[in-house]
């Protein structure tokens, strides 16, 4: 923990599921953490309280990932509070599933705005800070669906695939200042987003024979931030062998 004391991270969508696990894992490792949440203040306060038990500074900010001004404000508040930002984890995401012929313009736009544009807004804001520091790590949470697609999720798949190309471009732009950019593509993880999915059907396609846990993703995030200084522009599949 002492090794990372004083370092700071920003996590979007940190009040539940994978985001919550990432916030708590980083806090346990000694990082000061700022995280955003969309609407559930009670859940955010719980995460904030739990993270503070590790003796670090924690900042919970209500912010819509799809709003450029709010994304900018999140990064600015974190930088003002901590004096530096060593890692950005773009985890905030939504799904509004429907078949293409039934998908509304609104559902298309909302998913792309939150999942893809949100990562653009925060990455643009944090890049200036990291370039000046000559260090930093940006990690964008994509999905296996962004790699192989899925019927009924054209908007979600497009947003998650877009994150991959976006991140590879960031890696090329920021690498000269020792700033890394990578993608983590989770498989099927035990969260509220997979509660309604028939588990037996999924397990048939997962060589490890189980769904992942949010902590599986959080530990990969921590590795990339703390030990991945020579890893950039990569897509790390954390999916139990689902994608080869």
pLDDT at 195: 65
Q: In whole angstroms, what is the distance from residue 203 CA to residue 207 CA?
A: 8
pLDDT band at 5 (very low <50, low <70, confident <90, very high): confident
Asked whether residue 120 is assigned to any structural domain, the reply reads yes
pLDDT band at 137 (very low <50, low <70, confident <90, very high): very high
Asked whether residue 111 is assigned to any structural domain, the reply reads yes
Phi and psi, residue 236, nearest 5°: -100, 115
For the residues 26-32, what does the mean pLDDT come to? 97
Asked whether residue 227 is assigned to any structural domain, the reply reads yes
Q: In whole angstroms, what is the distance from residue 29 CA to residue 52 CA?
A: 12
User: Domain holding 29: CATH number?
Assistant: 3.40.50.720
Q: In whole angstroms, what is the distance from residue 212 CA to residue 185 CA?
A: 12
For the residues 16-40, what does the mean pLDDT come to? 97
pLDDT at 49: 98
Asked whether residue 78 is assigned to any structural domain, the reply reads yes
Q: In whole angstroms, what is the distance from residue 111 CA to residue 95 CA?
A: 6
Asked whether residue 202 is assigned to any structural domain, the reply reads yes
Q: In whole angstroms, what is the distance from residue 223 CA to residue 221 CA?
A: 5
**22-36, 118-132, 189-203, 224-238: least confidently modelled range:** 189-203
What's the pTM value of the predicted model, to 2 decimals? 0.95
Active site residue 37: no
Tens of pLDDT, residue by residue over 80-121, are 999 999 999 999 999 999 999 999 999 999 999 999 999 999
For the residues 199-226, what does the mean pLDDT come to? 93
Residue 130's domain comprises: 2-235
- Overall number of domains in the chain: 1
For the residues 160-171, what does the mean pLDDT come to? 98
Q: In whole angstroms, what is the distance from residue 114 CA to residue 140 CA?
A: 13
Asked whether residue 199 is assigned to any structural domain, the reply reads yes
Rounded (10°) CA dihedral 84, 223, 71, 27: -70
Whether 125 contacts 175, CB under 8 Å = no
Asked whether residue 145 is assigned to any structural domain, the reply reads yes
What is 89-118 written as a DSSP string? EE-------B-GGG--HHHHHHHHIIIIIH
Q: Which two tokens stand for residue 65?
A: 């990932």
pLDDT band at 14 (very low <50, low <70, confident <90, very high): very high
Whole-number mean pLDDT of the chain? 95
Asked whether residue 242 is assigned to any structural domain, the reply reads no
- Active-site annotation holder among 37, 121, 156, 230: 156
Q: Which two tokens stand for residue 18?
A: 């994978």
Q: In whole angstroms, what is the distance from residue 62 CA to residue 113 CA?
A: 17
Q: Report whether pLDDT(2) > 70.
A: no
Task: Give the DSSP H/E element, type plus range, for residue 235.
Answer: strand 235-238
pLDDT at 193: 65
pLDDT band at 214 (very low <50, low <70, confident <90, very high): very high
Q: What percentage of the chain carries pLDDT values higher than 70?
A: 96
């Amino acid at each position: 923990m002492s090794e990372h004391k004083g370092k700071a991270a920003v996590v979007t969508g940190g009040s539940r599921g994978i985001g919550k696990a990432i916030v708590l894992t980083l806090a346990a490792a000694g990082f000061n953490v700022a995280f955003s949440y969309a609407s559930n203040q009670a859940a955010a306060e719980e995460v904030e309280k739990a993270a503070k038990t590790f003796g670090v500074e924690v900042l919970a900010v209500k912010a819509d990932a799809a709003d450029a001004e709010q994304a900018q404000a999140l990064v600015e508040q974190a930088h003002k509070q901590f004096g530096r930002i060593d890692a950005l984890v773009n985890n905030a995401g939504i799904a509004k599933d429907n078949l293409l012929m039934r998908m509304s313009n609104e559902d298309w736009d909302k998913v792309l705005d939150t999942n893809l544009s949100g990562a653009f807004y925060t990455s643009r804001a944090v890049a200036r800070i990291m370039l000046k520091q000559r260090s930093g790590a940006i990690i964008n949470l994509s999905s296996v669906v962004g790699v192989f697609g899925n019927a009924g999720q054209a908007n979600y798949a497009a947003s998650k695939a877009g994150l991959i190309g976006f991140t590879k471009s960031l890696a090329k732009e920021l690498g000269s200042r020792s700033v890394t950019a990578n993608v983590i593509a989770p498989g099927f993880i035990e969260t509220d987003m997979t509660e309604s999915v028939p588990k037996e059907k999924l397990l048939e396609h997962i060589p490890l024979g189980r769904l992942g846990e949010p902590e599986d993703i959080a530990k990969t995030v921590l590795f990339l931030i703390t030990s991945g200084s020579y890893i950039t522009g990569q897509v790390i599949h954390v999916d139990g062998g689902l994608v080869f």
